Amino acid sequence: MAEVSTPYQTQTYYALALDPIHVGSGEMQIGRVDNVIVRDTANGLPKIPATSLAGAARTYTAMHYPDKYRRPVEDSEGRVGYASCADQTGPTGDRDGACGHFDCPVCITYGFIQPGGRTSPSMVQMFDAFPLFFPVPSMLGPVWTTAPERLQALLQDGALKEGDLNIRLRPEHGYRLQTALPRKRLNLGWLLLPVAISEAPLTSQGHARLREAGVPEDILSRLVLVPDDLFTQVVNDNLEVRTSTAINRTTGASLHGALFTYEAIPRSTLFSFQAVYKNPGDFLLDGQPLPHDIEWVRTQVEKGLHYMEYLGVGGMNSRGMGRLRILNLGQ
């Protein structure tokens, strides 16, 4: 009987914002902030969309292999241009940039489309990154808030186990907190709330598991559990809001009427997101099975994720935003 291959593997990643993160919604609105960030429609939490993560990872994986990121090609008239497996475009702007080679770490990992209908699907599927531990100023200094739903999501993804959580906060407690910090009342920004449960939301086992995954001890030792229906408000009330203006390139002064504000998720926010890696051996290209395994795919993706610590994700990178450190690469 033939051995059945593993069709996929899942991995939960933890990502620490080294700078504020701005992934814009593409909309301007009249209100407190002009340029708002992307939010989940179900719970209102800001997020880093999976498309932003996957797009940046593809580009950075290609940059790791310069011949895949920018390679010279010659057209029918002998003119030399450049093609890239990062965005699949060639010198003419058509989808003739992807090389489509069996050994290409970009095309095979992230998929490609070529003229004439030659295609290959992506071997990685990423999901949105949501704040897991969100920093908020308090009378004790910075604390990191989380919610039962966010911790339970790690349990469902298999990143944590049943014995890792110590969620004692219940709906009947109302708008109260659970934390091991020595306070009977604690403010989260402008909001002052009583502490109902003086215990950490993670057991020592859960604490150790996240610490092994690279989550800083400074965050784990200052966790505050808030009710699910309050977490979104706490997060949105403590986003960073900046004001900028366009510059007149002739005078060097601010451009009249170009003042605008924009939101950002603050630095030191800890995100979690999941990636699913498919087995290339289950797919055919030109009628032949792909000669790679899941670990090869994961290695190529993590090469791209590594560069986010230096090159960032999202917008406003020229304004000091976007760097994101993935904490548990290679684990």
Same domain, 8 and 45: yes
Is residue 211 situated within a structural domain? yes
pLDDT digits 0-9 by tens, 282-294 = 999 988 999 899 9
- Examine residue 154 and state whether it is found in any structural domain, yes or no: yes
Band the pLDDT of 218: cuts 50, 70, 90.
very high
Specify whether 60 is located in the same domain as 8: yes
Is 299 a domain residue?
yes
Average pLDDT score, the chain: 88
**Is 259 contained in some domain?**
no
- Can you give the residue range of the structural domain that contains 71? 1-134+240-253+266-331
Quick one: 78 and 106 in the same domain? yes
Report how far residue 115's alpha carbon sits from residue 215's, in angstroms, rounded to the nearest whole number. Answer: 45
**What's the average model confidence in pLDDT over 72-97?**
72
Instruction: Report the percentage of the chain scoring pLDDT > 90.
Output: 63
Q: Are residues 74 and 220 in the same domain?
A: no
Judge if 10 and 121 occupy the same domain.
yes
Q: Quick one: 37 and 120 in the same domain?
A: yes
CB-CB neighbours of 70 under 10 Å: 14
Q: Which of 89-103, 197-211, 246-260, 314-328 reaches the highest mean pLDDT?
A: 197-211
Same domain for 75 and 153, yes or no, is: no
198 and 117, same domain (yes or no): no
pLDDT interval class at 260 (50, 70, 90) = low
Average pLDDT over residues 20-32: 70
Total number of domains constituting the chain = 2
Residues 51 and 155 in one domain: no
Residue 258 lies in a domain: no
Residues 287 and 303 grouped into a single domain: yes
